[in-house]
Amino acid sequence: MKYILGSIAIILAIGFVGFLLPAIAGIVIGIGMIKSGSIVGGLIAIIVGIGINIAMLYGSAAESGMSTGSGHHMSYTDEECPYCASGDTDGNHCYNCDDDF
């Protein structure tokens, strides 16, 4: 049991570090560049690393449907009827919620 829980914890930690890898790499490279005297290059490396991580977060939210422009998550089980998520349609009219789309 201890081995299984330890393995799960290690897998979760590796996944978390892997997800933050662009930011971690940007910060490490940025600190190295700042120590070597290139302050502007170091700051750019840090900003790029964190920017890539933010873009990854936004991309995953957009892919899952969480950024619809209205600010809330809209999940549909059936794309044919977006208002009530019903498959009971004739192609442009929902019979369950009696709306046209």
How close are the terminal C-alpha atoms of the chain, in Å?
A: 53
Position 77 confidence tier, pLDDT thresholds 50, 70, 90:
very low
Q: Model confidence over 5-64: pLDDT tens digits?
A: 999 999 999 999 988 999 999 999 999 999 999 999 999 999 999 999 999 888 887 777
Comparing CA positions, the residue from 74, 81, 73 lying closest to residue 100 is 81
Residues 6 or more apart whose CB falls under 8 angstroms from that of 75 comprise 65
98 or 7: which leads in pLDDT: 7
